[in-house]
Structure 1
Amino acid sequence: MKVTVDEDRCCGAGTCVLLVPEVFDQREDDGVVLLLDAAPAEGFHAAVREAANVCPAAAITVAETA
């Protein structure tokens, strides 16, 4: 899995951080998403997919890798 975020699209809702704090964080000054791990361990994959699906700004992209 490869995760990317579009900081320009992020609205700072923070849902991703609540779901997977091991992979996502937020900048202190404006709440924009920070990607902590672009290739998370398999145990986080389901939660990362959920974070991407519920992101109100569609700022998270998940690419499945072989």
Structure 2
Amino acid sequence: MGGVIKADRTACQGYANCVIAAEDYFDIDDRGLVVARKTVVPTEDRIRVEEAARSCPVAALKVTDE
């Protein structure tokens, strides 16, 4: 099953681990905060995107079933 990316930009501190792990899904804006390039994650990418979200040291990212 695919998922939906939830980004908490108030928690983000711009470490960019997510970008390194899945640059096709995440980016950092001019203020140094995460931006989801895509919010819907197809089933075939879910594990990789979840791992990228878990790499965030401040837990600013989640992949949900919504």
TM range (shorter): 0.7 to 0.9
Gaps of 5+ in 1: none
Task: Using structure 1 for the length normalisation, give the TM-score.
Answer: 0.85
Residue pair 2:26, 2:37 contacting (<8 A) in 1 also = yes
| CA-atom RMSD in angstroms | 1.2
Matches within 5 A, 1:1-66: 1-27=3-29, 29-65=30-66
More strand by share: 2
Q: Deviations over 1:11-66 (max 9, x none)?
A: 10001011111111110x2221001111122222111111121211100011125x
User: How many residues in Structure 1 have an aligned counterpart in Structure 2?
Assistant: 64
Gaps of 5+ in 2: none
